[in-house]
Structure 1
């Protein structure tokens, strides 16, 4: 019974850690993108308020959708191998973000009426490199946020099982 409760408790911490990670990624992505858009100071105040209420949770859900499978793989590896390191989680977050961005791009998810993605101008190599760096940094922030809440205890549910064997 104690083992089952430990597993249920660990699963709850993992789910909460994932929710915090995708929210942190969304907040960081907003912090990186909003200043580049060229709004005035007055507009930025209203944009920040609206972003915190509407855009950040929406983008967090989108990030969570695309990052779920790669993040689940990284979480399972860290739990089974008891990898609790800060660097592992930061690197896993970055790789998860790259995988999620590649999935997002490959699926062509946004379908806008009257917009033909095939005729859209491709990004310049410099803009594409900048976008890749933002994606990597966002993933690292998410990985660190996950580590702060759940990653430091990775594999802790295995202690009782290993001591009995």
Structure 2
């Protein structure tokens, strides 16, 4: 069980890193490297990672749902990631290109999560039942 929870946390961390890299690349192409990275490149990465990590609560609901019903399909996690990204609590202009970029980044994050942890959703129950 501890191993499974560790896998879930690792999957979330991997999804946050992957989506942060994509968001940084998009911001770099729009505003330029000086705006994104400034004098300290780590700061920009950290800020974007914190914004992405702020979506932990909606994503936790997705994980609980997937674990409860043993949902293991990659497209479930990809679509859930896209919807979660559109729930960004840090308001945006609402432009269609930005919403599309958020959707694509969320799809990527959900797919990365599935690759690390989502494939094993609900498997803890079978192990728990076989141990008794």
Alignment TM-score > 0.5, same fold: yes
TM-score (norm 2): 0.86
Corresponding position: 1:94 with 2:94: no
Q: Matched residue of 2:72: which SS?
A: coil
The size of the alignment, in residue pairs, is: 131
State the match for 2:21 in structure 1: 27
Corresponding position: 1:74 with 2:62: yes
Q: Matched residue of 1:88: which SS?
A: helix
Distance between the aligned counterparts of 1:20 and 1:57, measured in 2?
14
Distance between the aligned counterparts of 2:22 and 2:39, measured in 1?
15
8 Å CA contact 1:23, 1:57 repeated in 2: no
User: Which structure has the greater CA radius of gyration?
Assistant: 1
Q: CA RMSD in A?
A: 2.5
8 Å CA contact 2:38, 2:44 repeated in 1: no
The runs of 4+ residues in structure 1 deviating greater than 3 Å are 47-51, 161-165
Q: Which runs of 5+ in 1 are unaligned?
A: 1-6, 107-122
Q: Which runs of 5+ in 2 are unaligned?
A: none
Distance between the aligned counterparts of 1:31 and 1:58, measured in 2?
14
Distance between the aligned counterparts of 1:36 and 1:63, measured in 2?
19
State the match for 1:114 in structure 2: none
Q: CA deviation at 1:104?
A: 2.0
> Could you give the per-residue CA deviations for residues 136-160 of structure 1, whole angstroms, max 9, x where no partner exists?
0111111111111111111110112
TM-score (norm 1): 0.70
Corresponding position: 1:17 with 2:11: yes
Corresponding position: 1:54 with 2:43: yes
Q: Which has the higher contact order (CA 8 A, sep 6+)?
A: 1
